[in-house]
Structure 1
Amino acid sequence: MANQFVTRSLDEIRFWSRIMKEHALFLSLGFNFDDKKLIQEAQQFIDLFEKIEQQLSNFNANSDPQQIAAFNNQVHQAAHAIWAYKRKVLGLTLRCEIRSNNYPLLLDHTSREAAYFGERLKELNEGKLQPTPAKIIKENVFFLRLMADHSKFIGHLLDPSERKLVDQAREFSHDFDQLVFQAVDLDSMRPQSETQPLLDKFLDENRVSVVALRDFKKTARELIEACRIKSNIHPLLADHVFREAERFLHIIDMFEVSLGSDH
């Protein structure tokens, strides 16, 4: 169990610290030139999460669980700090105190991921290693909403002349909105909905849609890197959203294993 706590903690930090660092970069690229203080703060977060990534090399699967718990607390503080920064920028944007190329939904989206990251570290330190049926549904609501957001961002950042790709992104946005509503409905039916067959079907349906979106993102990433489509999408952003879809598939796999072990 101690070994599982260590490996899961390091895996979460490895994946999400990179995501947080990239969020800070994307936000800094979206600000106006005169938003110097906000750009400077974003750079501080890039440096902070780079430092955390470097610290990861000090640990491995055999590390002392107490040291990992302390590291989780340290990274939790960093996740909370970047969450607060993103919410501050969202407030400035909604009050029209700043004008930038960072959509309010993007700011909200990235802050939800920071909150999720912090919560995962807290749960691990509390010894919550096995997901409950309720947790499985809630985590799917979270990730399905991320995938729906990604589809909307892709559709808005593609050049309008890329009509076919824009239409595909809109279709994915619609599909994932429907899956979000379906997951929310299932969540509100708890605990009656927490049955093995329903959860199995729920995860299977989500997997099919996420695989399709993951493949679309992979193609888009390759086309962007090869300069074969017209868009405002940074190549790193294309890779970033692809990795998050892969992460969701990895989590669905973990949930299916945990459901299987219950029987």
Structure 2
Amino acid sequence: MRLTDAFVARSLDEIRFWSRIMKEHSLFLRLGFRCEDTQLIAEAMQFQATFEDIERRSHAYSLNTDPSTIREFNCEVQNAATHIWAFKRKVLGLILRCKLPGGTNFPLLVDHVSREANYFRNRLDELNCGQLEPLHDAIIDENVFFLRIMADHAKFIGHLLDPSERKLVEQAREFGHEFDQLMFQAIDLSSMRPQSQTVPLLSQFVDENKVSVKSLRDFKKTAADLIEQCRIKSIIHPLLADHVFREAERFLFILEMFDRSLSGHHVNKKELLF
């Protein structure tokens, strides 16, 4: 794959996935504000519209689009991602200073969505600068990031299920603990760099995480289906259930690409586009 082709494919893949995520974050934050938080609600609605437009426009481009056009688009989207990151951090500060009593946005949730916005804007900057991490560094850093995201998801699910759904709540707590442990294991591997970056260690690391992510992905899918069918008691928005399922799918996709790369297989550029 030519570098220009890979740049276009990777940029469109990141924007198509994460712009939808940012759009949905805006909705979830808006739903968690109080009725009197009219300014915050208006800002969230504006971000929702902005990322909906970005998502729509990203699908108008193709793998044959001029890389310079995509580079300009990346800059525009990175600017939007930076602004929504700043908005999320502002909201987190208000919550932690007890300025929004009675709202339903958990501080950890707001921190969580801001971490994802930061990840998105940094990735676009890396793409435009042509400075993506080497494979062995990316394997560790992506896992540290996504394992924490998965652990957060499990905790959110456990808190948003009705307490009477005891079995599902317990399952969510177990997943939260499991992914905390996997995250700490990834941090340990990171601190042992570069000596820890051998193919056997990284392959085992990726394989182990794939097994756990598949289990969590399946749990999320089951929960999403039950919520959609109104078969369990919770205050989880159906779109939120689908949202966390898609992020698990994304992580699993990344792990599969790492697995193939460690095995010496090339990734086709079309595989990068959902």
Same fold, judged at TM 0.5 (above) = yes
Q: Which amino acid aligns with 2:86?
A: A
1:151 aligned to 2:154? yes
The alpha-carbon deviation at position 47 of structure 1 amounts to 0.7
CA distance in 1: counterparts of 2:192 and 2:229, whole angstroms? 47
Q: Which amino acid aligns with 2:117?
A: A
> Which of residues 230, 247, 252 in structure 2 aligns to 1:249?
252
1:55 aligned to 2:20? no
CA distance in 2: counterparts of 1:174 and 1:29, whole angstroms? 28
Q: Which amino acid aligns with 2:235?
A: N
1:219 aligned to 2:228? no
Residues 130 and 258, structure 1, Cα contact 8 Å, conserved in 2:
no
CA distance in 2: counterparts of 1:256 and 1:129, whole angstroms? 18
CA distance in 1: counterparts of 2:60 and 2:247, whole angstroms? 25
The alpha-carbon deviation at position 53 of structure 1 amounts to 1.4
Find the residue that maps to 1:63 and give its secondary structure. Answer: coil
Matches within 5 A, 1:91-110: 91-99=93-101, 100-110=103-113
CA distance in 2: counterparts of 1:205 and 1:7, whole angstroms? 28
**For residue 205 of structure 1, what is the aligned residue in structure 2?**
208
Matches within 5 A, 1:60-75: 60-75=62-77
Q: TM-score, normalised by structure 1?
A: 0.98
CA distance in 1: counterparts of 2:222 and 2:92, whole angstroms? 31
The alpha-carbon deviation at position 130 of structure 1 amounts to 6.3
Q: Which amino acid aligns with 1:232?
A: I
**Which sections of structure 2, spanning at least 5 residues, go unmatched?**
267-274
Q: After superposition, what is the alpha-carbon deviation per residue over 1:34-90, rounded to whole angstroms, capped at 9, x for unaligned?
A: 001000000000010011112113310100001001100100001100000000000
Q: After superposition, what is the alpha-carbon deviation per residue over 1:109-134, rounded to whole angstroms, capped at 9, x for unaligned?
A: 00000000011111111224564312
**For residue 29 of structure 2, what is the aligned residue in structure 1?**
27
CA distance in 1: counterparts of 2:145 and 2:59, whole angstroms? 30
CA distance in 2: counterparts of 1:8 and 1:129, whole angstroms? 11
The alpha-carbon deviation at position 261 of structure 1 amounts to 2.5
Q: Which amino acid aligns with 2:107?
A: P
CA distance in 2: counterparts of 1:181 and 1:98, whole angstroms? 32
The alpha-carbon deviation at position 260 of structure 1 amounts to 2.2
Q: Which amino acid aligns with 1:240?
A: H
CA distance in 2: counterparts of 1:262 and 1:228, whole angstroms? 43
Q: Percent identity?
A: 67
CA distance in 1: counterparts of 2:260 and 2:201, whole angstroms? 15
**Which sections of structure 1, spanning at least 5 residues, go unmatched?**
none
CA distance in 2: counterparts of 1:152 and 1:120, whole angstroms? 26
Q: Relative contact order: is structure 1 or structure 2 higher (C-alpha 8 Å, sep ≥ 6)?
A: 2
**For residue 134 of structure 1, what is the aligned residue in structure 2?**
137
Q: Which amino acid aligns with 2:205?
A: F
Residues 131 and 255, structure 1, Cα contact 8 Å, conserved in 2:
no
CA distance in 2: counterparts of 1:187 and 1:197, whole angstroms? 15
Q: TM-score, normalised by structure 2?
A: 0.94
CA distance in 1: counterparts of 2:104 and 2:260, whole angstroms? 41
CA distance in 1: counterparts of 2:134 and 2:128, whole angstroms? 14
Report how many residues are paired: 263
Residues 76 and 122, structure 1, Cα contact 8 Å, conserved in 2:
yes
Q: CA RMSD in A?
A: 1.3
CA distance in 2: counterparts of 1:141 and 1:261, whole angstroms? 23
Residues 161 and 233, structure 2, Cα contact 8 Å, conserved in 1:
yes
CA distance in 2: counterparts of 1:111 and 1:129, whole angstroms? 21
1:230 aligned to 2:230? no
Find the residue that maps to 1:19 and give its secondary structure. Answer: helix
